[in-house]
Amino acid sequence: MFPKSKLFNRYALGFLKEDEAHEVDVLCGAFLMTKKNLLLQLNGFDESFFMYGDDIDLCYRIQKAGYKNYYSGSQTVIHFKGESSKQNSSAYVKMFYKAMIVFVRKHYKSNAWLTGFLLHTGIYLRAFASFIASPFKRKKIYRNEIDKNKFLLIGDPFSAAEAENIITKNFQNVEIRKLQSLQSLSEQENKFDKIIFCNGRFFYKESIEFINRSKNKYQYLWHGLHTKSIVGSSDKEFTGEVIGEV
């Protein structure tokens, strides 16, 4: 409700400028780096955490060892968020807060029983709220979901040829246009909704920069050279899309 609030959004840090560097308590485990000797010193990630909380635990132990965690706003990555479990599902809520219970029992033993009780209560209340709210949540509708036969392939010609073969095997009456560079895209932007970046000699950095410039105007997918699928993830609340073999 208050994404820019220091008080209410201390976890996601929405009040910080995303393109600047900041000292933070926790880094996302999907993209973090540290020196190998520090990981060895701390015995790496704690396998007591099943899916969530392992990055929080590691960052906390890094701080306890006398080091600091820094967020770098100058780097961008593609992360298919929400593919392990859907962010508003009851399963996600249970797994996430149970990880918090593991964290509390490990690091706050003196009052773990009280905090654990509050967390368990929170799990069931949050799961109940997700269950009640789920019928009212609507998936974003993209034009390509209505008209799936228009594909624009950009990048490496060999990768594009592979992507075209995957598309024609999975869709009928398709319209495919291939471009080798982003510079020639402008004339096509009103005709295609689904852009497939064909990586080979075409780098992920270029696709990231284009996405930042276009402000998510299209739905994006990627095909890696010599792979058998095209993948994308347009909404963290829902399962990503896979065309071809999983």
Q: What is the pLDDT along the chain (246 residues), one digit of tens a residue?
A: 788 898 888 878 889 998 899 999 999 888 999 999 999 999 999 999 988 899 999 999 999 999 999 999 988 888 776 566 655 566 777 788 788 888 888 888 777 678 778 877 877 787 677 667 666 655 544 434 434 578 999 988 999 999 999 999 998 888 898 988 877 676 555 577 789 999 887 778 888 888 888 766 778 899 999 999 998 877 666 667 888 887
Report the CATH number at residue 163.
Answer: 3.40.50
Global confidence as pTM: 0.72
Same domain, 149 and 239: yes
Q: Same domain for 63 and 105?
A: no
Q: 3-state DSSP: the chain helix, strand, coil percent, rounded to 5?
A: 40, 15, 45
> Could you give the CA distance from residue 134 to residue 221 in angstroms, rounded to a whole number?
27
Judge if 152 and 217 occupy the same domain. yes
The verdict on 154 and 229 lying in the same domain is yes
| Total count of domains within the chain | 3
Same domain, 158 and 116: no
User: Are 194 and 227 found together in one domain?
Assistant: yes
Are both 157 and 234 inside the same structural domain? yes
Q: Are residues 36 and 90 in the same domain?
A: no
| Contacts for 228 with CB less than 8 Å, ≥ 6 apart | 166, 244, 245
Of 114, 137, 160, which one is at a domain's C-terminal end? 137
Number of separate helices (H) and strands (E) present in the chain:
7, 8
Structural domain boundaries, residue 60: 1-79
